[in-house]
Amino acid sequence: MAGNEAQKQLLTLIRGFASEKSHGEKRVISLKKRIEDLQSELEAANLELEDAKRFKETTEQELKGLEVELAVKEASIQALEKEITNKMARGLYSETAVYMGK
C-alpha cells in the first residue's frame, strides 16, 4: 500500500508541476503580448513627438520671419516719421497737407 500511496503522491506532484508550467507559459504569453502593445504605443508616441517637433520648428521659423517683417515695417515707420519731421522743419509739411486735401 505504501507503494501505491507514493505513486499517488508522485502523480499529484507531476500534475501540480504540469499545471504550474501551463500557468507560467500562459503568463509568459500574456507578458509578451503586453510588451508588443507597449512597443506599439511607444512607436505611436514617438511619431507624435516627431510631428510636434516639426510643428515647433515650423512655427519658430514663421515667428522669425514675422519678427523680421515687423523690424522692416518699424524701420519704415521711423523713416517716414523722420521725413515728416524734416519736412515740417523746412515748412514743407503744410504745403503737402494742403496738396493732400487736409
Per-domain residue ranges of the chain: 2-99
Cell numbers linked to 80: 517716414
The yes-or-no verdict on residue 101 having pLDDT over 60 is no
47-82 pLDDT, tens digit each: 999 999 999 999 999 999 999 999 999 999 999 999
Q: What is the DSSP string of 61-77?
A: HHHHHHHHHHHHHHHHH
Contact 84, 93 (CB under 8 A): yes
The pTM of this model reads: 0.56
Regarding predicted confidence, which is higher, 61 or 17?
61
